[in-house]
Chain A
Amino acid sequence: MADRARNKDGLGKAVTFNVITPMNRFGTCVVRVLLWIFDRWKRTQNTAKALAFLPFVHWVVIKRDRFPQLEGQPAEKLNYDYLFFLSTFNGPWETYIEAFADVLYVPLDLVWFWSIRYPMARPVAPLKRYIKRNQVESDHSYSAYPGASVRDVRAGLEVRRELELFEKNSRDLPPDKFATEFNRLLMSVQNKLGSFGPIPE
């Protein structure tokens, strides 16, 4: 299993998540329209972004005749189109599914409703079983910053922005003004200073 990156310091924080579920032709049409709407209508995306344990969520429709083949591999005959859900998350699997079901159940149900035997998001136990049955493990996963969660990355960017601003504003200041400026910097990044790195094994 390679559902997360690993380096000499430990285990990466982002866990990959792939679920493939079958849909009939009618479902495919509906889901395409829905995804088109989600793409333009930002509310769901904003909720997903606010869930700060969620680096990435993506839905793709794969038509039955569009599955890739290796050279010389005959095309399989499929009875369904497929909805491919891929995501990465920080934290435990159970919590991730629960947060999804508790917070994002409307878009989740709308898009997955068309998948064969989808149980609906709530209560969450049947959804967990459904996902377990349809989840595909990653063979490889790569992470540029295995030691960083979404929050770590956001915090890092923020600290950098503030530091650059400080560097510009504090040049040639007399000591007392410098102290004021430094305190302002510290105040602005005070909750972005946690120690990060891979989770020690």
Chain B
Amino acid sequence: MFDFSNIQGNILRGYASFPHARFLYLAVHDAGDGRSLLKALLDSGSVTPAQWSEKPDAALNLALTFAGLRALGLPEESLATFPAEFREGMKVRAKALGDVGKSSPQWWDEPWKTSRVDILVMIYGRTEGALEERCRTFRQSLPAGVTELGPDQPAGFFSKDNEKARREHFGFVDGLSNPAVEGVSRDGGAGRSQEIGNPDERGRFRKIPLGEFILGYPGEGGDLAPMPLPNLLSHNSTYLVFRKLEQNVPLFRDYIAEQARSFARTIPGGLPNGVTAEDFLAAKMMGRWQDGSSLIEHPDRPTKALDNGFAYADDPAGARCPLGAHVRRTNPRDALGFGGKTMSRHRLIRRGITYGKPLPPDERDDERRGILFIAFNSGFDQFEFVQQLWVNFGDDFEQSNDGDPIAGSSQGGQMVIPGDETTGRRPFICFNIPRFVETKGGDYFFVPSLAALRLLASGRVRAS
């Protein structure tokens, strides 16, 4: 049906078994050198496709900004066919994305703050050693006309107590839920990701058409995402959203601890053994317990069950999972009705990875930590919709202007934790929620297919 070996890796299947990563940022000063770098990488088979015959020790993938495509000498008539959001780049979109105040580009980390990254190089290793080795050989292959913009970005998955599931810095298991895509078999092996499609009229889940995530195929409603020209450049290519999201862990913990005291008073019979009010409140904000189990399936206590097939329709008032919780907003599943038709075009493949050292419980430090948010979609309208309408705004979920309690852009927002008639738990309102997550950089990238990289390397692109 389609050719996995022509699509770059980490898109349709995640690199869960490559827990060590480093992101390098390149500036292309000479188009010829840029193209010969691509050519050398392709000739040596260094760009990792979605399918391999033998599992490599390290993987390398490339993505380009609009400036990067131009720096490689892509002709203007081709450049003009790329979508407006991509041409503008993430800095220009800052206001629309809620990157304001301390998240605005003037406060971003380097190289994002002062430079424009042309090429993003994503290197993953199964071991630290394999990663370092690949980084070293890559750096040696850089021609004079392509330089690295510092600092590079180390990242990696971490887990708790030898668990398999990986965590993010607020303490939740992450990397669980991703879209189930037509023609793509389940993530096997060490990948713990469990795919979930879009709901249909009967409330069952169906797979999502490939065109939502890869260019050149029909998407929801049979629509083809706009294709930059020439076709060879866009077919099997896609777009990547890269955001450095810094998490303020002490602020998050302090807020939860403080609110949990009053939250506990809304629970008449007290909490089940081993569950603290902090755990419960944090779970209500996320929509999952910290161990990843779902509030829909396991409303009273965490169970470590990582099932992802749950739906929201029989929890309409949010007694189990609040309407404003992070996972219910970012993928409302069947919560919005209409056979999923008002949410089906707003799905994202997430391949985020944490950076910085985890903060042990009850400790404080000045370390910087967070998530490198990585999302793939066949148009930036998918990401921008989720970010603007679902994360930073709440109307679709009866939350009016109130945003996501975990990742939203508002400072001092609120969230209602609906009560539960069956247990007598009363509604609770979290007021004055600080902004726990600040944007520290990132951009919009084009992820060429391997054939498209070859075309870019040849320098012989004609738009028609």
The chain A residues found within 8 Å of chain B, CB to CB, are: 13, 50-51, 53, 90-92, 94-95, 98-99, 101-103, 122-125, 149, 151-152, 155, 183, 186-187, 190-197, 199
Contacts and interface: CB of A to CB of B under 8 A. Distances in A.
Mostly, the A contact residues are: helix
Contact of A190 (B221, B381, B419): B419
A194 B398 contact: yes
User: Which of A90, A92, A101, A191: most chain B CB closer than 10 A?
Assistant: A191
Contacts of A155: 398, 400
B345 interface: yes
Contact of B418 (A13, A90, A152, A191): A191
Contact of A191 (B226, B317, B393): B317
Contacts of A122: 221-222
Interface residues of B, number: 37
Nearest to B427: A190
Given A122-B222, A125-B224, A155-B398, A50 B341 contact: no
- Greatest chain A CB density within 10 A among B221, B388, B400 is at B400
A94 B426 CA distance: 39
Given A186-B426, A190-B317, A190-B416, A151 B398 contact: yes
Contacts of A102: 220-221, 338, 341-342, 344
B221 A123 contact: yes
Contacts of A95: 345, 385, 389
Interface centre among B221, B414, B429 (most CB of A within 10 A): B221
Contacts of A196: 400-401
B221 A199 contact: no
Interface of B: 220-224, 226, 317-318, 323, 337-338, 341-342, 344-345, 381, 385, 388-389, 393-396, 398-402, 413-414, 416, 418-419, 421, 426-427, 429
B416 A99 contact: no
Contact of A94 (B222, B381, B394): B381
A94 B332 CA distance: 19
A184 B192 CA distance: 42
Contact of B401 (A53, A94, A197): A197
Looking at A122, A151, A197, the one whose CB has the most chain B CB atoms below 10 A away is: A151
A75 B345 CA distance: 46
Contacts of A186: 419, 426-427
Contact of B221 (A90, A92, A124, A152): A124
15 contacts: A50-B337, A95-B385, A102-B220, A102-B338, A102-B341, A103-B338, A122-B221, A123-B222, A152-B400, A186-B419, A186-B426, A192-B398, A194-B398, A195-B413, A199-B393
A191 B318 contact: yes
A13 B394 CA distance: 13
B208 to A, nearest CB: 14
Contacts of A187: 419, 421, 426-427
Nearest to B336: A52
Contacts of B427: 186-187, 190
